[in-house]
Structures are given as structure tokens and as C-alpha cells.
Amino acid sequence: MGNIKIKWLVYTVLIGLIPVFSRFLVWLVTNDTNMELMVSADLVTFGLILHVSNINEIEHLTFEDHDRNWKTVQNGLSIIFIVFYSLLFALTLIDDGLVDLDALKLCTQILAVISFMISYSVYDRISKTTSNI
């Protein structure tokens, strides 16, 4: 695994998962049986961190002309996902009775997996591009 991918894994993925790990640790040491192990807001945070990281990394690289389209597509895709995550976050703030929390959790889980795959592919391509320079 390249240096860029290791940095991505540590600085982006693990940092993005801090809310998930924190909730898990609190869940382990408390006696509160009503506390959920995973909530949508934690996954929204993870997805937002992944996509902001994608935009940041792509914007700081110099691409050849044929790679500029890829850059534009990836930035656009990340912006679309950020909009989706913002909407999902807004839904987490609404009263529990008005939102189907199970459906919301499923949506955020699916989006988080897709975001992880997209982010991995971005950093994989960046690591291959920078290793060829």
C-alpha cells in the first residue's frame, strides 16, 4: 500500500470513524440499554469527512489535460454526496416520530460504504499518478 493510501487510511478514515469508535466505547462501558450502538449522525460525519478530504486532495494536485475531466467529475460527485449528507444530517435533527430512523440509518450505511469505495478509488488513482511522476 502506498504512502498516500496509508495517510488516507489513518488521517481520513480513522479520524472519520472517531464518532463511531467513541459511541462503541461508551456503549461498552455504560449500563444504558436504550443507547444505540450506531446512529446515522456518526455515519454522516464519516461520509462528510471522506468527501471533503477527496476535494481537498484533488484540488492540491496538478493534472494533465486528460485528467482534468476526472478531477471535475470527482469534485462534482463529492459535492453531490456532501449535499446528500447535509440533507440526511438535517433529518437526524427532526423529531423521532416524523422520520423513519431505520430507513435513515440504512440510507446512511449504504452511502457510507459507497463513499468509502469512492474515496478509496480517488486515493488509489492519486497514489498511482504521483508514483509515476
Whether 121 shows a pLDDT value over 80: the answer reads yes
pLDDT attached to residue 81:
98
Q: How confident is the model at residue 65 (pLDDT cuts 50, 70, 90)?
A: low
Residue 97 to residue 50: CA distance in whole angstroms: 30
**Average pLDDT of the chain, as a whole number:** 91
Q: Name the band, by pLDDT with cuts 50, 70 and 90, for residue 3.
A: confident
What integer pLDDT is reported at residue 132 of this predicted model?
A: 61
Does 133 have pLDDT greater than 70? no
Beta strands (DSSP E) in 70-130 are: none
